[in-house]
Structure 1
Amino acid sequence: MNEEAYIRFENYLNNEMSEEERLDFESELRDNSQFKESFELYKETTAFVKQKFSPETMAFKKNLESISEGYFAEGKKKAKVISIKPWHYAAAASVLLLLGTWIFNKDSMPEYSDYSQHENAAFVERSTNDENLKNAQDFFNQKKYAEAVASFEEIRNADNPEYQYFYAIALIETNHFKKAEMLLESIRNGNSVYKNKATWYLALSELKQLDYEQCKELLRQIPEDAEDYENAQKLLQQLE
Protein backbone atom coordinates (compact mmCIF):
# COMPACT_ATOMS: atom_id res chain seq x y z
CA MET A 1 0.00 0.00 0.00
CA ASN A 2 1.44 3.38 -0.96
CA GLU A 3 1.03 6.80 0.64
CA GLU A 4 -1.49 7.96 -1.94
CA ALA A 5 -3.73 5.00 -1.15
CA TYR A 6 -3.62 5.88 2.56
CA ILE A 7 -4.58 9.47 1.79
CA ARG A 8 -7.54 8.34 -0.30
CA PHE A 9 -8.63 5.89 2.41
CA GLU A 10 -8.49 8.63 5.04
CA ASN A 11 -10.31 11.14 2.87
CA TYR A 12 -13.08 8.65 2.18
CA LEU A 13 -13.47 7.60 5.80
CA ASN A 14 -13.53 11.25 6.93
CA ASN A 15 -16.02 12.32 4.21
CA GLU A 16 -13.45 14.71 2.73
CA MET A 17 -13.96 13.74 -0.93
CA SER A 18 -15.95 15.56 -3.57
CA GLU A 19 -18.98 13.75 -4.95
CA GLU A 20 -17.04 12.76 -8.08
CA GLU A 21 -14.05 11.50 -6.07
CA ARG A 22 -16.34 9.49 -3.81
CA LEU A 23 -18.08 7.84 -6.75
CA ASP A 24 -14.73 6.99 -8.36
CA PHE A 25 -13.47 5.57 -5.09
CA GLU A 26 -16.55 3.38 -4.58
CA SER A 27 -16.37 2.23 -8.18
CA GLU A 28 -12.77 1.16 -7.61
CA LEU A 29 -13.80 -0.72 -4.47
CA ARG A 30 -16.30 -2.68 -6.56
CA ASP A 31 -13.98 -3.36 -9.48
CA ASN A 32 -10.61 -3.92 -7.78
CA SER A 33 -10.65 -6.72 -5.20
CA GLN A 34 -7.06 -6.05 -4.12
CA PHE A 35 -7.82 -2.38 -3.53
CA LYS A 36 -10.94 -3.31 -1.55
CA GLU A 37 -9.00 -5.80 0.59
CA SER A 38 -6.37 -3.16 1.40
CA PHE A 39 -9.08 -0.64 2.28
CA GLU A 40 -10.92 -3.05 4.58
CA LEU A 41 -7.70 -3.96 6.39
CA TYR A 42 -6.84 -0.29 6.80
CA LYS A 43 -10.33 0.57 8.05
CA GLU A 44 -10.41 -2.25 10.59
CA THR A 45 -6.93 -1.58 11.92
CA THR A 46 -7.34 2.17 12.27
CA ALA A 47 -10.71 1.70 13.98
CA PHE A 48 -9.10 -0.63 16.50
CA VAL A 49 -6.23 1.76 17.15
CA LYS A 50 -8.55 4.74 17.60
CA GLN A 51 -10.75 2.83 19.99
CA LYS A 52 -7.92 1.53 22.09
CA PHE A 53 -5.46 4.39 22.03
CA SER A 54 -7.32 7.66 22.06
CA PRO A 55 -7.74 8.14 25.85
CA GLU A 56 -4.23 7.20 26.90
CA THR A 57 -1.95 7.69 23.91
CA MET A 58 0.38 10.20 25.55
CA ALA A 59 0.65 8.25 28.79
CA PHE A 60 1.41 5.10 26.87
CA LYS A 61 4.13 6.87 24.89
CA LYS A 62 5.74 8.13 28.07
CA ASN A 63 5.66 4.64 29.55
CA LEU A 64 7.40 3.22 26.49
CA GLU A 65 10.04 5.96 26.62
CA SER A 66 10.65 5.23 30.30
CA ILE A 67 11.04 1.54 29.64
CA SER A 68 13.43 2.24 26.78
CA GLU A 69 15.55 4.46 29.01
CA GLY A 70 15.58 1.80 31.68
CA TYR A 71 16.79 -0.92 29.38
CA PHE A 72 19.23 0.96 27.20
CA ALA A 73 20.70 3.85 29.22
CA GLU A 74 24.41 3.30 29.82
CA GLY A 75 25.53 2.67 33.39
CA LYS A 76 22.17 1.48 34.67
CA LYS A 77 22.14 -1.99 36.15
CA LYS A 78 18.39 -2.41 36.41
CA ALA A 79 15.53 -1.23 34.27
CA LYS A 80 13.04 1.14 35.77
CA VAL A 81 9.82 -0.72 36.52
CA ILE A 82 6.77 0.83 34.93
CA SER A 83 3.27 -0.52 35.31
CA ILE A 84 1.57 -1.02 31.95
CA LYS A 85 -1.92 -2.37 31.58
CA PRO A 86 -2.23 -5.59 29.55
CA TRP A 87 -4.24 -3.96 26.75
CA HIS A 88 -1.32 -1.64 26.09
CA TYR A 89 0.67 -4.58 24.77
CA ALA A 90 -2.12 -5.61 22.40
CA ALA A 91 -2.58 -2.08 21.16
CA ALA A 92 1.16 -1.61 20.72
CA ALA A 93 1.37 -4.85 18.78
CA SER A 94 -1.43 -3.69 16.48
CA VAL A 95 0.31 -0.41 15.73
CA LEU A 96 3.63 -2.12 15.15
CA LEU A 97 1.93 -4.59 12.83
CA LEU A 98 0.25 -1.79 10.88
CA LEU A 99 3.44 0.24 10.58
CA GLY A 100 5.54 -2.82 9.87
CA THR A 101 3.23 -3.94 7.08
CA TRP A 102 3.21 -0.45 5.57
CA ILE A 103 7.00 -0.11 5.73
CA PHE A 104 7.50 -3.60 4.30
CA ASN A 105 5.12 -3.00 1.41
CA LYS A 106 6.57 0.45 0.73
CA ASP A 107 10.09 -0.92 0.59
CA SER A 108 9.30 -4.12 -1.31
CA MET A 109 6.79 -2.99 -3.93
CA PRO A 110 7.29 -0.29 -6.59
CA GLU A 111 4.94 2.67 -6.66
CA TYR A 112 3.35 4.66 -9.44
CA SER A 113 5.34 7.75 -8.44
CA ASP A 114 8.56 5.83 -9.18
CA TYR A 115 7.67 5.75 -12.88
CA SER A 116 5.41 8.77 -13.45
CA GLN A 117 7.99 11.09 -15.02
CA HIS A 118 5.94 12.24 -18.00
CA GLU A 119 7.29 13.87 -21.12
CA ASN A 120 6.13 17.41 -21.79
CA ALA A 121 3.26 18.03 -24.16
CA ALA A 122 4.18 20.12 -27.21
CA PHE A 123 1.40 20.27 -29.75
CA VAL A 124 0.17 23.88 -29.75
CA GLU A 125 2.34 24.87 -32.71
CA ARG A 126 0.51 22.23 -34.75
CA SER A 127 -2.95 23.22 -33.53
CA THR A 128 -5.52 25.49 -35.12
CA ASN A 129 -5.47 28.26 -32.51
CA ASP A 130 -7.57 26.30 -30.06
CA GLU A 131 -7.28 28.13 -26.73
CA ASN A 132 -8.45 25.09 -24.80
CA LEU A 133 -5.71 23.00 -26.38
CA LYS A 134 -3.07 25.55 -25.43
CA ASN A 135 -4.40 25.60 -21.86
CA ALA A 136 -4.41 21.80 -21.75
CA GLN A 137 -0.76 21.71 -22.83
CA ASP A 138 0.34 24.40 -20.38
CA PHE A 139 -1.55 22.94 -17.43
CA PHE A 140 -0.19 19.47 -18.19
CA ASN A 141 3.41 20.69 -18.33
CA GLN A 142 2.87 22.57 -15.06
CA LYS A 143 1.56 19.33 -13.48
CA LYS A 144 -1.83 20.94 -12.88
CA TYR A 145 -3.60 17.81 -14.02
CA ALA A 146 -7.15 18.61 -12.89
CA GLU A 147 -7.05 21.85 -14.88
CA ALA A 148 -5.53 19.99 -17.84
CA VAL A 149 -8.38 17.47 -17.77
CA ALA A 150 -10.96 20.25 -17.84
CA SER A 151 -9.23 21.90 -20.82
CA PHE A 152 -8.83 18.63 -22.74
CA GLU A 153 -12.56 18.04 -22.40
CA GLU A 154 -13.24 21.32 -24.21
CA ILE A 155 -11.00 20.85 -27.26
CA ARG A 156 -12.58 20.41 -30.68
CA ASN A 157 -10.41 17.68 -32.24
CA ALA A 158 -10.85 15.04 -29.57
CA ASP A 159 -9.96 12.10 -31.87
CA ASN A 160 -6.29 13.05 -32.23
CA PRO A 161 -4.21 10.20 -30.63
CA GLU A 162 -1.60 12.66 -29.35
CA TYR A 163 -4.18 14.72 -27.49
CA GLN A 164 -5.85 11.55 -26.19
CA TYR A 165 -2.51 10.23 -24.93
CA PHE A 166 -1.75 13.27 -22.78
CA TYR A 167 -5.39 13.55 -21.75
CA ALA A 168 -5.25 9.93 -20.53
CA ILE A 169 -2.14 10.62 -18.45
CA ALA A 170 -3.86 13.60 -16.83
CA LEU A 171 -6.84 11.35 -16.08
CA ILE A 172 -4.60 8.78 -14.39
CA GLU A 173 -3.01 11.51 -12.33
CA THR A 174 -6.46 12.60 -11.15
CA ASN A 175 -7.57 8.99 -10.48
CA HIS A 176 -10.13 8.84 -13.31
CA PHE A 177 -8.89 5.40 -14.26
CA LYS A 178 -11.80 4.02 -16.29
CA LYS A 179 -11.93 6.97 -18.66
CA ALA A 180 -8.13 6.93 -19.03
CA GLU A 181 -8.09 3.22 -19.81
CA MET A 182 -10.77 3.59 -22.49
CA LEU A 183 -8.64 6.20 -24.25
CA LEU A 184 -5.45 4.19 -23.93
CA GLU A 185 -7.09 1.00 -25.22
CA SER A 186 -8.26 2.92 -28.27
CA ILE A 187 -4.76 4.27 -28.88
CA ARG A 188 -2.98 0.94 -28.53
CA ASN A 189 -5.43 -0.71 -30.91
CA GLY A 190 -4.55 1.92 -33.52
CA ASN A 191 -1.39 2.58 -35.54
CA SER A 192 -0.10 5.85 -34.08
CA VAL A 193 3.37 6.38 -32.60
CA TYR A 194 1.70 6.27 -29.17
CA LYS A 195 0.58 2.66 -29.58
CA ASN A 196 3.21 1.11 -27.28
CA LYS A 197 3.22 4.07 -24.92
CA ALA A 198 -0.50 3.48 -24.39
CA THR A 199 0.25 -0.04 -23.17
CA TRP A 200 2.92 1.32 -20.82
CA TYR A 201 0.48 3.79 -19.29
CA LEU A 202 -2.22 1.16 -19.00
CA ALA A 203 0.28 -0.79 -16.90
CA LEU A 204 1.05 2.30 -14.81
CA SER A 205 -2.66 2.85 -14.28
CA GLU A 206 -2.95 -0.65 -12.85
CA LEU A 207 0.15 -0.06 -10.72
CA LYS A 208 -1.42 3.06 -9.23
CA GLN A 209 -4.54 1.04 -8.43
CA LEU A 210 -2.39 -1.66 -6.78
CA ASP A 211 -3.51 -4.32 -9.27
CA TYR A 212 -0.07 -5.86 -9.64
CA GLU A 213 -1.12 -8.94 -11.60
CA GLN A 214 -2.84 -6.94 -14.34
CA CYS A 215 0.09 -4.55 -14.37
CA LYS A 216 2.50 -7.43 -15.02
CA GLU A 217 0.29 -8.82 -17.77
CA LEU A 218 0.37 -5.48 -19.60
CA LEU A 219 4.12 -5.03 -19.11
CA ARG A 220 4.74 -8.38 -20.81
CA GLN A 221 2.94 -7.07 -23.90
CA ILE A 222 5.40 -4.22 -24.51
CA PRO A 223 7.74 -5.18 -27.40
CA GLU A 224 11.53 -4.94 -27.26
CA ASP A 225 11.68 -2.08 -29.75
CA ALA A 226 9.36 0.10 -27.66
CA GLU A 227 10.76 3.23 -26.04
CA ASP A 228 9.54 2.15 -22.61
CA TYR A 229 10.72 -1.47 -22.88
CA GLU A 230 13.62 -1.12 -20.42
CA ASN A 231 11.46 0.59 -17.81
CA ALA A 232 8.81 -2.06 -18.37
CA GLN A 233 11.31 -4.85 -17.75
CA LYS A 234 12.65 -3.09 -14.65
CA LEU A 235 9.16 -2.68 -13.22
CA LEU A 236 8.30 -6.26 -14.11
CA GLN A 237 11.32 -7.55 -12.19
CA GLN A 238 10.33 -5.49 -9.15
CA LEU A 239 6.83 -6.98 -9.25
CA GLU A 240 7.92 -10.59 -9.70
Structure 2
Amino acid sequence: MSEQLYITFENYFSNEMSQEEKLEFENQLQNDIELREKFELYKETTKFLATKFDSETIAFKENLKSISKENFAEKEVKKSKVIAFKPFYYAVAASVVLALGTWFMMQGTPEYGDFNQHENAFFVERSVGDTNLNEAQKAFNEKDYKKTVLAFEKVQNLTNPELQYFYAIALIETNDFTKAEILLNTIKSGSSVYKEKAVWYLALSNLKQNKIDECKIYLNQLSPDAEDYQKAQKLLKKID
Protein backbone atom coordinates (compact mmCIF):
# COMPACT_ATOMS: atom_id res chain seq x y z
CA MET A 1 0.00 0.00 0.00
CA SER A 2 1.28 3.50 -0.79
CA GLU A 3 1.56 6.42 1.62
CA GLN A 4 -1.27 8.03 -0.34
CA LEU A 5 -3.70 5.45 0.99
CA TYR A 6 -2.76 6.39 4.56
CA ILE A 7 -3.50 10.01 3.69
CA THR A 8 -6.85 8.97 2.15
CA PHE A 9 -7.83 7.30 5.43
CA GLU A 10 -6.87 10.43 7.34
CA ASN A 11 -8.83 12.68 4.99
CA TYR A 12 -11.89 10.48 5.40
CA PHE A 13 -11.76 10.52 9.20
CA SER A 14 -11.09 14.27 9.23
CA ASN A 15 -14.01 15.04 6.87
CA GLU A 16 -11.59 16.66 4.42
CA MET A 17 -13.08 14.88 1.40
CA SER A 18 -15.69 16.35 -0.90
CA GLN A 19 -19.04 14.57 -0.94
CA GLU A 20 -18.18 12.98 -4.29
CA GLU A 21 -14.79 11.76 -3.02
CA LYS A 22 -16.38 10.41 0.15
CA LEU A 23 -19.02 8.45 -1.78
CA GLU A 24 -16.40 7.03 -4.15
CA PHE A 25 -14.19 5.96 -1.24
CA GLU A 26 -17.10 4.33 0.62
CA ASN A 27 -18.04 2.48 -2.54
CA GLN A 28 -14.46 1.18 -2.84
CA LEU A 29 -14.64 -0.03 0.75
CA GLN A 30 -17.80 -2.01 -0.06
CA ASN A 31 -16.26 -3.67 -3.10
CA ASP A 32 -12.66 -4.25 -2.01
CA ILE A 33 -12.27 -6.65 0.91
CA GLU A 34 -8.52 -6.04 1.29
CA LEU A 35 -8.99 -2.27 1.34
CA ARG A 36 -11.76 -2.62 3.91
CA GLU A 37 -9.56 -4.79 6.15
CA LYS A 38 -6.75 -2.20 6.08
CA PHE A 39 -9.25 0.58 6.75
CA GLU A 40 -10.67 -1.26 9.78
CA LEU A 41 -7.17 -2.01 11.08
CA TYR A 42 -6.18 1.63 10.78
CA LYS A 43 -9.44 2.78 12.39
CA GLU A 44 -8.92 0.49 15.38
CA THR A 45 -5.28 1.61 15.73
CA THR A 46 -6.32 5.25 15.66
CA LYS A 47 -9.09 4.63 18.18
CA PHE A 48 -6.61 2.92 20.52
CA LEU A 49 -4.18 5.82 20.38
CA ALA A 50 -6.98 8.35 20.86
CA THR A 51 -8.39 6.68 23.97
CA LYS A 52 -5.09 5.70 25.60
CA PHE A 53 -3.33 9.05 25.55
CA ASP A 54 -4.38 12.53 26.62
CA SER A 55 -5.08 15.64 24.54
CA GLU A 56 -1.47 16.80 24.22
CA THR A 57 -0.45 13.43 22.84
CA ILE A 58 -3.30 13.48 20.34
CA ALA A 59 -2.18 16.95 19.30
CA PHE A 60 1.24 15.46 18.64
CA LYS A 61 -0.35 12.80 16.44
CA GLU A 62 -2.21 15.50 14.51
CA ASN A 63 1.06 17.35 14.04
CA LEU A 64 2.64 14.15 12.74
CA LYS A 65 -0.24 13.69 10.29
CA SER A 66 0.26 17.23 8.97
CA ILE A 67 3.94 16.55 8.36
CA SER A 68 3.05 13.30 6.56
CA LYS A 69 0.59 15.11 4.32
CA GLU A 70 3.12 17.78 3.46
CA ASN A 71 5.82 15.27 2.58
CA PHE A 72 3.74 12.67 0.79
CA ALA A 73 0.83 14.58 -0.74
CA GLU A 74 2.99 17.57 -1.70
CA LYS A 75 0.38 20.15 -0.88
CA GLU A 76 0.23 23.09 1.51
CA VAL A 77 -1.05 22.37 5.00
CA LYS A 78 -1.39 24.59 8.04
CA LYS A 79 1.52 24.36 10.43
CA SER A 80 0.50 22.66 13.66
CA LYS A 81 1.36 24.20 16.98
CA VAL A 82 4.66 22.98 18.37
CA ILE A 83 4.16 21.25 21.72
CA ALA A 84 6.63 21.25 24.59
CA PHE A 85 6.84 17.63 25.73
CA LYS A 86 7.63 16.32 29.16
CA PRO A 87 9.74 13.11 29.32
CA PHE A 88 6.56 11.04 29.52
CA TYR A 89 5.31 12.55 26.28
CA TYR A 90 8.53 11.72 24.49
CA ALA A 91 7.84 8.09 25.33
CA VAL A 92 4.31 8.44 24.00
CA ALA A 93 5.61 10.18 20.88
CA ALA A 94 8.02 7.33 20.30
CA SER A 95 5.12 4.88 20.59
CA VAL A 96 3.13 6.76 17.98
CA VAL A 97 6.08 6.95 15.60
CA LEU A 98 6.72 3.25 16.12
CA ALA A 99 3.07 2.44 15.40
CA LEU A 100 3.08 4.48 12.20
CA GLY A 101 6.47 3.11 11.19
CA THR A 102 5.23 -0.43 11.66
CA TRP A 103 2.19 0.42 9.58
CA PHE A 104 4.32 1.54 6.64
CA MET A 105 6.69 -1.41 6.95
CA MET A 106 3.73 -3.76 6.73
CA GLN A 107 2.75 -2.08 3.48
CA GLY A 108 6.11 -2.67 1.79
CA THR A 109 4.88 -5.68 -0.17
CA PRO A 110 3.09 -4.64 -3.38
CA GLU A 111 -0.62 -5.32 -3.46
CA TYR A 112 -3.38 -5.29 -6.05
CA GLY A 113 -4.64 -1.95 -4.76
CA ASP A 114 -1.37 -0.34 -5.84
CA PHE A 115 -2.01 -1.20 -9.50
CA ASN A 116 -5.79 -1.24 -10.07
CA GLN A 117 -6.08 2.10 -11.83
CA HIS A 118 -8.42 1.08 -14.64
CA GLU A 119 -9.09 2.98 -17.84
CA ASN A 120 -12.63 4.20 -18.46
CA ALA A 121 -14.97 2.13 -20.61
CA PHE A 122 -16.48 3.52 -23.82
CA PHE A 123 -17.91 0.41 -25.48
CA VAL A 124 -21.52 1.63 -25.72
CA GLU A 125 -20.62 3.95 -28.59
CA ARG A 126 -20.85 0.86 -30.77
CA SER A 127 -23.86 -0.63 -28.93
CA VAL A 128 -26.15 2.34 -28.35
CA GLY A 129 -29.33 0.28 -28.20
CA ASP A 130 -28.20 -2.16 -25.49
CA THR A 131 -29.52 -0.95 -22.12
CA ASN A 132 -27.50 -3.49 -20.17
CA LEU A 133 -24.24 -2.41 -21.78
CA ASN A 134 -25.05 1.22 -21.09
CA GLU A 135 -25.63 0.32 -17.46
CA ALA A 136 -22.43 -1.75 -17.32
CA GLN A 137 -20.35 1.08 -18.75
CA LYS A 138 -21.84 3.68 -16.42
CA ALA A 139 -21.34 1.48 -13.34
CA PHE A 140 -17.78 0.58 -14.35
CA ASN A 141 -16.75 4.21 -14.81
CA GLU A 142 -18.32 5.00 -11.41
CA LYS A 143 -16.29 2.11 -9.90
CA ASP A 144 -19.46 0.30 -8.85
CA TYR A 145 -18.13 -3.13 -9.81
CA LYS A 146 -20.92 -5.21 -8.26
CA LYS A 147 -23.43 -3.33 -10.38
CA THR A 148 -21.13 -3.71 -13.40
CA VAL A 149 -21.10 -7.49 -12.99
CA LEU A 150 -24.88 -7.65 -12.62
CA ALA A 151 -25.32 -5.62 -15.82
CA PHE A 152 -22.87 -7.78 -17.78
CA GLU A 153 -24.64 -10.93 -16.60
CA LYS A 154 -27.74 -9.72 -18.45
CA VAL A 155 -25.89 -9.28 -21.76
CA GLN A 156 -26.66 -12.20 -24.07
CA ASN A 157 -23.61 -12.01 -26.32
CA LEU A 158 -20.23 -11.50 -24.66
CA THR A 159 -17.92 -12.72 -27.42
CA ASN A 160 -16.49 -9.25 -28.01
CA PRO A 161 -12.96 -9.10 -26.45
CA GLU A 162 -13.49 -5.51 -25.32
CA LEU A 163 -16.62 -6.44 -23.36
CA GLN A 164 -14.91 -9.53 -21.96
CA TYR A 165 -11.98 -7.36 -20.85
CA PHE A 166 -14.05 -4.89 -18.81
CA TYR A 167 -16.27 -7.66 -17.46
CA ALA A 168 -13.13 -9.52 -16.29
CA ILE A 169 -11.83 -6.45 -14.46
CA ALA A 170 -15.14 -6.07 -12.64
CA LEU A 171 -15.01 -9.75 -11.70
CA ILE A 172 -11.51 -9.34 -10.26
CA GLU A 173 -12.69 -6.35 -8.26
CA THR A 174 -15.53 -8.44 -6.82
CA ASN A 175 -13.18 -11.39 -6.17
CA ASP A 176 -14.75 -13.74 -8.72
CA PHE A 177 -11.32 -14.81 -9.93
CA THR A 178 -12.30 -18.04 -11.69
CA LYS A 179 -14.72 -16.35 -14.10
CA ALA A 180 -12.33 -13.45 -14.61
CA GLU A 181 -9.42 -15.68 -15.54
CA ILE A 182 -11.52 -17.74 -17.94
CA LEU A 183 -12.40 -14.56 -19.81
CA LEU A 184 -8.84 -13.22 -19.70
CA ASN A 185 -7.36 -16.47 -20.99
CA THR A 186 -9.87 -16.40 -23.84
CA ILE A 187 -8.71 -12.90 -24.76
CA LYS A 188 -5.06 -13.89 -24.29
CA SER A 189 -5.41 -16.76 -26.76
CA GLY A 190 -6.91 -14.46 -29.39
CA SER A 191 -5.43 -11.68 -31.49
CA SER A 192 -7.34 -8.60 -30.35
CA VAL A 193 -5.78 -5.35 -29.11
CA TYR A 194 -6.67 -6.52 -25.59
CA LYS A 195 -4.37 -9.56 -25.77
CA GLU A 196 -1.53 -7.97 -23.77
CA LYS A 197 -3.99 -6.29 -21.41
CA ALA A 198 -5.38 -9.71 -20.60
CA VAL A 199 -1.91 -10.92 -19.61
CA TRP A 200 -1.44 -7.91 -17.33
CA TYR A 201 -4.76 -8.49 -15.59
CA LEU A 202 -4.07 -12.20 -15.21
CA ALA A 203 -0.96 -11.11 -13.30
CA LEU A 204 -3.00 -8.68 -11.19
CA SER A 205 -5.66 -11.29 -10.50
CA ASN A 206 -3.01 -13.60 -9.08
CA LEU A 207 -1.41 -10.73 -7.15
CA LYS A 208 -4.74 -10.00 -5.48
CA GLN A 209 -4.96 -13.68 -4.49
CA ASN A 210 -1.39 -13.52 -3.18
CA LYS A 211 -0.30 -16.12 -5.75
CA ILE A 212 3.08 -14.49 -6.30
CA ASP A 213 4.69 -17.24 -8.40
CA GLU A 214 1.75 -17.28 -10.82
CA CYS A 215 1.76 -13.50 -10.94
CA LYS A 216 5.45 -13.48 -11.93
CA ILE A 217 4.80 -15.98 -14.72
CA TYR A 218 2.29 -13.67 -16.37
CA LEU A 219 4.40 -10.55 -15.80
CA ASN A 220 7.27 -12.20 -17.65
CA GLN A 221 4.96 -12.98 -20.58
CA LEU A 222 4.33 -9.32 -21.39
CA SER A 223 6.18 -8.11 -24.45
CA PRO A 224 8.36 -4.97 -24.22
CA ASP A 225 5.91 -3.24 -26.54
CA ALA A 226 2.96 -3.81 -24.18
CA GLU A 227 1.35 -0.71 -22.70
CA ASP A 228 1.74 -2.12 -19.17
CA TYR A 229 5.29 -3.42 -19.61
CA GLN A 230 6.96 -0.76 -17.45
CA LYS A 231 4.47 -1.27 -14.63
CA ALA A 232 5.05 -5.01 -14.91
CA GLN A 233 8.81 -4.50 -14.55
CA LYS A 234 8.34 -2.37 -11.45
CA LEU A 235 6.05 -4.98 -9.94
CA LEU A 236 8.54 -7.73 -10.73
CA LYS A 237 11.33 -5.86 -8.94
CA LYS A 238 9.17 -5.50 -5.86
CA ILE A 239 8.13 -9.12 -5.62
CA ASP A 240 11.47 -10.73 -6.59
TM superposition score category, shorter chain reference: 0.5 to 0.7
Q: Which residue of 1 aligns with 2:155?
A: 155
Query: Partners of 1:5 and 1:114 in 2: how far apart?
Result: 12
Counterpart code for 1:211: K
CA contact (8 A) 2:128 2:134 kept: no
SS of residue matched to 1:155:
coil
Query: Where in structure 1 are there 5+ consecutive unaligned residues?
Result: 12-41, 43-53, 66-72, 81-95
How big is the shift at 1:128? 5.7
User: Amino acid of the residue matched to residue 166 of structure 1?
Assistant: F
| 2:185 equivalent in structure 1 | 185
Task: Describe the superposition over 1:115-153 as per-residue Cα deviations: whole angstroms up to 9, x where unpaired.
Answer: 111111111121161100111011101111110110011
Please tell me whether the aligned partners of residues 109 and 239 of structure 2 are also in contact (alpha carbons under 8 angstroms): yes
What is aligned with 1:201?
201
2:174 corresponds in structure 1 to 174
In 2, Cα distance between the equivalents of 1:230 and 1:157? 34
Q: How many residues align?
A: 183
Match of 2:122 in 1: 122
Name the TM-score, length of structure 2 as normaliser: 0.61
| Equivalent in the alignment of 1:48 | none
Match of 2:106 in 1: 105
Any residues of structure 2 matched to 1:32-43 within 5 Å, and which?
none
Once residues 99 and 216 of structure 2 are traced to their aligned partners in structure 1, the CA distance between those partners, rounded to angstroms, is 27
**Alpha-carbon offset, residue 97 of structure 1:** 10
Tell me by how many angstroms 1:9 deviates.
9.4
Q: How does 1:191-230 map to 2 (within 5 A)?
A: 191-230=191-230
Q: CA deviation at 1:210?
A: 2.0
* Paired residue type of 1:129: G
What's the RMSD between the two structures over aligned residues?
3.9
Query: TM-score, normalization: structure 1?
Result: 0.61
C-alpha contact 2:35 2:113 (8 A) present in aligned 1: no
Query: Does structure 1 residue 5 correspond to structure 2 residue 37?
Result: no
2:239 aligns with 239
Does the Cα contact within 8 Å between 2:171 and 2:177 map onto a contact in 1?
yes
2:220 aligned partner, one-letter code: R
Q: Indicate how the Cα distance of structure 1 residues 233 and 167 shifts in structure 2: closer, same or farther if over 3 A, else same.
A: same
- Output the CA distance in 2 between the equivalents of 1:204 and 1:105: 20
User: 2:143 maps to what in 1?
Assistant: 143
Residue type matched to 1:145 in 2?
Y
Correspondence list, 1:33-112, <5 A: 103-106=104-107, 108-112=108-112
* Per-residue deviation, 1:211: 2.1
SS at structure 1 position matched to 2:158: coil
Distance 2:182 2:106 in 1: 29
1:217 positional shift: 1.6
Deviation, structure 1 residue 161: 0.9
